Amino acid sequence: MEDHDIYAAVGEDGFRRLIAAFYRQVPTDPILGPMYPADDLAGAEQRLRDFLVGRFGGPPRYIEQRGHPRLRMRHMPFAVGPAARDRWLQLMHRALDEAALRPDADALLREFFDGVATMLMNQPG
C-alpha cells in the first residue's frame, strides 16, 4: 500500500472516525485544549480531516477551500514545543487505536503523523 491508496482502503468514514476520535479529546486536554478555537472545533475538525483525505488519495477539498497547506507557516501562531508535539501524537495514537483502521493504513498514518508533528515544532523545549 502507498499513501495515495489509503483513502480507497479506509474510506471517508475511516477518516471521519479517526479525526472525530482525535478532536473528542482536545477540549479537555490541558496543553492542546487552550490552543484550539473553542467556538470552532467543528471547523478545525473539518480542516484536518479534509487535509488528510486529500493527502491520502481522496478528494482535494482542503486545497480547494484553503489553498496550499503550508503547514509550518499555519502553525506559527501556536507555540509547538516538544510537550505539545508529544501530546498531539499521544491523542492521535489513541484516536488511531480507537478507529481500528486496516493495519497497513494505520502504520503509514502513524509514520506520517510522527514526521509531520516533529517538522511542525517551532519552539525549543
Binding site for ligand HEM (CB under 6 A): 32, 35-37, 40, 44, 47-48, 51, 66, 71, 74-75, 78, 80, 84-85, 88, 113, 116-117, 120
Whole-number Å distance between alpha carbons of 120 and 21: 22
Tell me the residue nearest to ligand HEM as measured from the CB. Answer: 88
CA distance 36 to 15: 20
- Burial status of residue 98 (CB atoms within 10 A of its CB: 0-12, 13-18, 19 or more): middle
- Report in angstroms the alpha-carbon separations of 66 from 30, 46, 63, 74: 28, 11, 5, 11
Cell of residue 16, nine digits: 471521519
Instruction: Indicate the residue among 21 and 48 with the shorter CB distance to ligand HEM.
Output: 48
